[in-house]
Amino acid sequence: MKTLLLTGFEPFLGMPINPTERIVKALDEETIGAYQIKSVLLPVDFEKAPDALLEAFHQVNPDAVVSLGLAAGRDAITPERIAINIRDGAPDNKGVVLEDALIAAEGQDGYFSRLPIRKMVNKLKENGFPANISNSAGTYLCNNVMYTMLHYIDKENLQIPAGFIHVPASHDLVVEGKKRMSSWSQRDLEEAIRICLQCLSEE
């Protein structure tokens, strides 16, 4: 059986919930297609998140890596096409604010996802879930984690699928966070991610 490292994030920017934390907890140890899921939660911390990701990678020694993040305000599941070598924008959970900072001094400007993102979008839609490819993962922690994994895989010449999927807010987040935005049920978010992960076994 192959192993898939699935990462989610803790809550951030004052929001009470991060639905990706609940998704990765729900899917931990499940078998989806050819893969057994090993879930890890990452901190929203520019200094710690890349190390936490690579440490999990070395511990789990996975055959595939899929990272998840919340994109509050989006209304669809959005596999990301590309990660860019920039950290910029809102403060992380330690209050650190970065501006125009590189992620890796010797890294490429960007790395394309190694996930079957078109297939994921098509499969999601076939199952009745709104989905589209996103052409920007932003410049915050999600982009940072996607870039870190793809840069490492490129440097080490590994041949494994890896990439990032942003998800919309959950109903719970909207109710508890008292902010108006598009939201999905937690159950649908989990089902949609199962469908995405299933695509890795149909390559």
What are the residues binding ligand PCA (CB under 6 A)?
9, 12, 18, 20, 44, 69-71, 138, 140-142
**Which C-beta is closer to ligand PCA: that of 64 or that of 71?**
71
Beta bridge partners of residue 131, listed in sequence order: 77
Judged by DSSP in three states, 117 sits in: helix
Report which of 14, 12, 15, 154 is spatially closest to residue 83, judged by C-alpha positions: 154
Residue 12 CB, nearest distance to ligand PCA (Å)? 5
Beta bridge partners of 65: 5, 162
Tell the smallest beta-carbon distance from residue 31 to ligand PCA (Å): 25
Q: Which is nearer to ligand PCA, 63 or 111 (CB)?
A: 111
Q: How many other C-beta atoms are found inside a 10 Å radius of the C-beta of residue 106?
A: 8
Please report, as a single letter, which amino acid is at residue 114: R
How far apart CA 123 and CA 194 sit, in angstroms, is 11
Which is nearer to ligand PCA, 158 or 181 (by Cβ)? 181
Identify the CA nearest to 145 among candidates 104, 187, 193: 104
Residue 151: CB minimum distance to ligand PCA, A: 17
Nearest residue to ligand PCA by CB is 142
Residues that are catalytic: 80, 142, 166
